[in-house]
Amino acid sequence: MSRKLYIKTFGCQMNERDSEVIAQLLAQEGFATTSVQEEADLILVNTCSIREKAEQKAFSLIGSLREEKKKNPSLVVGVIGCVAQQEGEHLRSRMPHVDLIVGTQQIYRLPAMLDRLLSGMTQKEIATNMESSFSIPPFQKLLVNNEKTAITPGFKQFVTIMQGCDNFCSYCVVPTTRGREISRSVRDILEEVELLVEQGVREITLLGQNVNSYGATNTVDPRPVSFPQLLRKVSAVQGLQRLRFTTSHPKDLSEELMQCFAELENLCPHFHLPVQSGSDKILQRMNRKYTVESYLQKVARLRQYRPDIALATDVIVGFPGETDVDFAATMRLLQEVRFHGSFSFKYSDRPHTRSTSFTDKIPEEIKSKRLATFQKEQNKISLQRNREYLEKTVEIMIESILDGEIKGRTATNHMVHAAGNVDSLLPGDLALVIIEHAGNHSLKGRLSE
C-alpha cells in the first residue's frame, strides 16, 4: 500500500510549481498525494514569507500539526519554502514537532532526506543552505509519467525558467529566501515544454521572479539567450496552444518583449506588470529603479502593439513615508491606466529587508483606509472593463465542467462561466462563448453554436 502525501501551498506560482515538483519526486518513493490532511503519512507545508499574512497562516497550520503528531507519532511533518529558508534552525527550536525543514534550493534533496528520516538514520532533517552554483535539475530526471509514478500533467502547466532576484527592492525578501538570479538552460526549458506538450499540456506559463532579466545574469548557457528570444523558441513548440509568463519588472521591459505580443500568435494578451506605487518618491524608496512616467510610457507602447491586452498589477499601500499626496498619485495612476485587475496589499515589515529600518511607518488604520479606497476604485474599474466584453464572442480554455456548466479562461485571463451543450467537451478544450453578464471578477455567457 502506498503512503500518502498532503501538501498545503501558500504564496505565489513559484511555490505552486515547487509543490508539483515535490509531488513528482515523492511519487517515485511510493507517496500518493491526497487532498485529505487526516489521511496523510507525510504533511508538507510549502510556505511564503513575501507578505506577513501568508507567513502567519503558515505558522498557524504548522502549529496545529503539533496535536496531529501527538495523535499519530509516525506522522512526518515538514516545512519547506521561503519561511523554512528564512527561519532555518530557529524554526526547529520554535516548532520541535517538525521533522523536516527544507529551503527553496534544497527541495530536490527531499527524497534522500526523507529516506534517512524514515529509516531511523536521523531524527530531524534540515537543509537551508544557498549555493552560488545552484541549478534546477532537468525535468526529465523527475521521471514524470513513467513506470515509477502515476502522476501526469493536466492541460496547463507551470515551467520554471529562473530562480531568485537581483533587484533588492527595499521591502522584498526574495533575494534572501530565493537567492540571486539563476537562469536555467534553454535546452532544459525547451525539452521540458516539449515533453509536457507531448503529454497533452496545451497551456504553459513560464515562471521567474523577474522573467524579463532571464539570461542576463547567472546562466549555464555559453551563448545567453534573452527572454524575448526564449519566448519565441517556446512559442514555436508544435502543439502549444497558449503561452503565458509571470512576473515582470518594469525596468527590464524591453521593446523586443513588447513586440512579442504583436507577433506571437499563441502568446496570451495578458500582462502582469507590478507598479507598486504611483509616487516617484515612494518608488525611489522602494528601490524600484523606474519612474511613473517611464512606466506609463511602456503601458502606452504595450497597448500600441496589442490593443486588446489586459493589464494587471501589484500595489503596496502605506509604504513608510507615504503621504496623502503620494497615495493620491497612486490613485491617479490607477485611474489613468485602468488595470483590468490588481493585487493590492498593506505594507508590512519583512525580515532582512531595508525598509524594516525605516522609521516613518504609517499607522495601521491609515493603511487600512487607503487599501479599502484603492480596492473600491479597482473593483469599479474592473467591472467597467469586464462590461467591455458584453455581447462579444470570446474563446476560452475549459478548466472544469459541472452540472451542465463550463468554467474556463480567456486568453486575457478572465474567468468565464457558460451554459450550453457540454456533452462533447473536456477540460483543456477550447470553446467559444457569447458573453451575456459581467461581474467584478468573472464573466458569464452561453456556448456559441
Instruction: Indicate the number of domains in the chain.
Output: 3
Which pLDDT score, from 0 to 100, does residue 25 have? 87
For residues 89 and 343, which has the higher predicted lDDT (pLDDT)? 343
Give the torsion through C-alpha atoms of 214, 220, 225, 231, to 10 deg: -60
Residues 62 and 147 in one domain: no
Is the domain of 103 the same as that of 214? no
Question: What sections of 219-360 are H helices per DSSP?
Answer: 227-235, 255-263, 280-286, 292-305, 324-337
Q: How far apart are CA 174 and CA 389, in angstroms?
A: 37
pTM score? 0.89
Claim to verify: residue 262 and residue 218 sit in the same structural domain:
yes
- Predicted local distance difference test score (pLDDT) of residue 210: 93
Q: How far is CA 29 from CA 6, 33, 56, 76, 148, in A?
A: 14, 12, 31, 15, 9
| Residue 294 lies inside a defined structural domain of this protein | no
Q: Which domain holds residue 248?
A: 139-268
The average confidence (pLDDT) of the chain is: 92
Q: Do 107 and 201 fall into the same domain?
A: no
CB contact at 8 A, 95 and 74: no
**Is 268 labeled as ligand-binding?**
no
Is 260 known to sit in a ligand binding site? no
Per-residue confidence (pLDDT) for residue 219, from 0 to 100: 74
Question: What are the pLDDT digits (tens) for 272-295?
Answer: 999 999 999 999 999 999 999 999
pLDDT tens track for 148-181: 444 567 899 999 999 889 999 999 999 988 888 9
Residues 44, 8: contact at Cβ < 8 Å?
yes
9-20 average pLDDT score: 89
pLDDT tier at 397 (50, 70, 90 boundaries)? Answer: very high
Q: Maximum Cα–Cα distance for the chain, whole Å? A: 65
- Encode pLDDT of 68-121 as tens digits: 999 999 999 999 999 999 988 888 888 999 999 999 989 989 999 999 998 889
Q: What CATH number is associated with residue 27?
A: 3.40.50.12160
Q: If pLDDT is split at 50, 70 and 90, which confidence band does 133 have?
A: low
86 and 148 belong to one structural domain:
no
CB 163 within 8 A of CB 208: yes
Work out the percent of the chain whose per-residue pLDDT is above 70.
96
Q: Specify whether the CB–CB gap between 438 and 387 falls below 8 A.
A: yes
48 is in an annotated binding site: yes
Question: Per-residue b/e over 419-447, b at no fewer than 16 CB within 10 Å?
Answer: ebebeebebbbebebbbeebeeeebbbeb
Cell of 364: 495601521
pLDDT of residue 145: 46
Domain boundary among 127, 155, 183: 127
**Residue finishing a domain among 219, 250, 268:** 268
d(CA 261, CA 309): 8
CA distances from 74 to 107, 119, 123, 212, 233 (A): 22, 12, 12, 45, 48
Q: Is residue 79 part of a domain?
A: yes
Give residue 143's pLDDT band: very low, low, confident or very high (50, 70, 90): very low
Which amino acid, residue 128? Answer: T
**What pLDDT is recorded for position 1?**
59
Distance CA 343, CA 345 (A): 7
> Which of 79-83, 214-218, 296-300, 372-376 is least confident?
214-218
- Final residue before a domain boundary, out of 243, 268, 293: 268
* Span 8-20, average pLDDT: 89
The reply to whether 51 falls in a domain is yes
| Amino acid 136: pLDDT | 74
- Residue 51 and residue 349: Cα distance in Å, rounded? 9
In a domain, 436, yes or no: yes
Sign (positive/negative) of CA torsion 265, 272, 59, 169?
positive
Domain containing 242 — which CATH number?
A: 3.30.750.210
